[in-house]
Amino acid sequence: MIPVVAQALAHLLVSGTSLDSVEQISFHRPENPQTMTRGVNLYFYDLRATRNAGDNAENPNSLTEKDSPHGTTQTVAQERALWFDVSFLVSTYDYTALGAQQLFSESLTLFLRYAQIPHPFLDASIPGFRALPLRVNLEMDWVELWKALDLPLRPALCVTVTVPERQISVPVLVANSLEFMNHPTPDRSSLKKVDEGLIKG
């Protein structure tokens, strides 16, 4: 669950900022800025159960008999899933302060643009959902947070994604199995198409 969210955020960042690849994104505990190369650090630091039950999550339409090329399908009713808020501390680094600030601005603008992680960026291990709620929290006690990490104070933001712990009931094809394959990292053209779809919607 947590690695899936981390990878989705990483792919979203690469597609919507000046980063060149996911190799410029780290997931370990933040380090002193002098030891970091250019990139974004996504540090998972909090997991909380939520009663929101993913109110903003998008479920796909049920697969019906007419949707199947072979006309043999079985749709199982969706069962209640357990929902959690997965939070990441997002900080940016570069060889210069201005470079880090520019990358931070790009990351903030990107995350504020989306109230959900779009479907192209979700891993197939979370079937049954087209999008997962995403929100940015800027009202944190950053002094205490960085003090707890024993690091100097620096700009950062908190990104929280609401994700199901399990999703049991999904449409299943009886005649043929539905295989969820690993998808490649969506490129910037994919992000543009998602934006256009949101605007039209």
CB-CB contact of 168 with 79 (8 Å): yes
CB-CB contact of 155 with 140 (8 Å): no
pLDDT over 70 at 56, yes or no: no
The dihedral region occupied by 77, where left means phi > 0, alpha psi between -120 and 50, and beta the remainder, is beta
Sign of CA dihedral 174, 176, 177, 179: negative
CA atoms within 13 A on the CB side of 23: 2
Strands 116-117 and 157-164: unpaired
For 123-152, what is each residue's pLDDT tens digit? 666 666 778 899 998 888 999 999 999 999
Q: Which residues pair with 46 in a beta bridge?
A: 87
Query: Which residue ranges form the domains of the chain, and what is each CATH number?
Result: 2-172 (3.30.2000.30)
**pLDDT average, residue stretch 61-68:** 39
What is the spatial distance between Cα 142 and Cα 149, in angstroms, rounded to a whole number? 11
Q: How many CB atoms lie under 10 A from the CB of residue 94?
A: 17
The set of residues, in sequence order, having a beta carbon less than 8 Å from that of 186 and lying 6+ positions away, is 11, 15, 120, 121
Q: What percent of the chain has pLDDT over 90?
A: 43
Q: Which residues pair with 85 in a beta bridge?
A: 48, 162
Measured between alpha carbons, how far is residue 62 from residues 59, 118, 169, 194 in Å?
9, 19, 11, 22
pLDDT over 60 at 36, yes or no: yes
The set of residues, in sequence order, having a beta carbon less than 8 Å from that of 124 and lying 6+ positions away, is 180, 181, 182, 183
Give pLDDT, residue 66.
41
- Is the model's pTM score more than 0.85? no
DSSP assignment letter at 63 = P
Give pLDDT, residue 57.
59
Q: What is the mean pLDDT of the chain?
A: 75
Q: Tell which residue, 106, 86, 97, 88, has the closest CA to residue 152.
A: 97
Sign of CA dihedral 32, 36, 40, 44: negative
